[in-house]
Chain A
């Protein structure tokens, strides 16, 4: 089975609030203090913080904490975000713990708080093993009947479905990579429209679902243990 040799990968988590954190408007010291204490185990200092946005547009204002190998955690008044680039399995576990800790602080700090939606988004650009090109791979997939008005280079897949075990909407794209020559681009989104989720369970099930889908289309990730 051809292997995906990941060259670039990103994981993003977005947690959108049911209503903005009005009680934290203008309370930057409280936000920085709270996030400092939340992530104290990472030896967070003022140098780990970055402030973003335009004071005239509250929706753009954000406090970002850099957490080394575990990426960043970003607090905005209407959502939170965690991001990780070029990671190992261990880094992903750390990212989950960052999300759990950060979101716990948000719940404790914002009046009448609830999440409206959680979204996990994975994207990667990979080469294929054994000299296989993206065209060769995609041309081998089952074809739709839409007409091709030229040389067929192989078309990607976009699938959307509801996962009952996770009660989540899944959207998965598999296509030619525009970053990696002859490589494949994977975009995988898991959306959960409710307040409380089990972050560990969702992260694990999401990973399993992605790997299962890839196996079904005849692909697998190259394994590297750390």
Chain B
């Protein structure tokens, strides 16, 4: 089986962007369909797949299993978020699992995008089980309200001087707002 990927040749004169040929995928003649049975290769037989398809394959002496260790690094702001959730546990309206998960996802994403350039992040409960996330710079403010439940809408609020605006929430809108309001010189 030969699968052709559509040639996205641009046909222009910009060097480096012209693709002279299509890319094809050719099936590996030694590939076997995966199944729940052991896929180990008997000693002395034809070369077979190097991946392990089942737990039983781990016992095959000539299989190599690669383990990739990953570091789970908690950023300080995620640590602050977890501390906030713990502090609010005994309150009448503790931070909900939904609000925590949404805030965690947003802050992790913002950290990936901005790294050390992410401004100091202020976290506070909204009093109804949700979370308020804020950034300040001089007379500029960006605030994200994460509601306690998915039925309620999250939103992004920005204030530059005395000019307020509200936008629908999304990871990209938060990043764009931070770039244009807080990080812009």
Contact = CB atoms under 8 A, between A and B. Distances in A.
Interface of A: 10, 14, 16, 40-43, 45, 47, 70, 79, 88-90, 92-94, 97, 101, 117, 119, 121, 123, 125, 171, 178-179, 185, 187, 189, 191, 200, 204, 225-226
A119 B70 contact: no
A70 B111 CA distance: 13
Contacts of B152: none
Contacts, number: 70
User: Which 10 pairs show the lowest CB-CB distances between chains A and B?
Assistant: A90-B171, A89-B172, A41-B115, A93-B175, A97-B113, A90-B172, A93-B172, A225-B170, A179-B6, A178-B6
A194 B8 CA distance: 25
A93 B14 contact: no
B175 A90 contact: yes
A14 B17 contact: yes
A126 to B, nearest CB: 13
Nearest to B183: A200
A89 B10 contact: no
Contacts of A187: 8, 10
Contacts of A225: 168-170
10 contacts: A41-B111, A43-B73, A47-B68, A93-B171, A93-B175, A93-B176, A119-B14, A121-B17, A225-B168, A226-B171
Interface in B142-185: 168-172, 175-176, 179
A70 B6 contact: no
Nearest to A39: B115
B170 A171 contact: no
Nearest to A81: B16
A189 B10 contact: yes
Interface in B1-53: 6, 8, 10, 12, 14-17
A171 B114 contact: no
A47 B67 CA distance: 11
B112 interface: yes
B70 A45 contact: yes
Contact of B109 (A10, A40, A90): A90
A70 B179 contact: no
A45 B72 CA distance: 12
B115 A94 contact: no
B175 A171 contact: no
Contacts of B68: 45, 47
A193 to B, nearest CB: 10
B154 to A, nearest CB: 10
Contacts of A200: 179
Contacts of B6: 125, 178-179, 185
A169 B73 CA distance: 42
A66 B148 CA distance: 35
Nearest to A123: B8
B147 to A, nearest CB: 15
A89 B12 contact: no
B4 to A, nearest CB: 9
Contacts of B169: 225
Contacts of A97: 112-115
A88 B10 CA distance: 24
A195 to B, nearest CB: 17
B169 to A, nearest CB: 8
A41 B12 CA distance: 37
A79 B14 CA distance: 13
Nearest to A185: B6
A43 B14 contact: no
A222 to B, nearest CB: 15
A101 B113 CA distance: 10
A200 B117 CA distance: 15
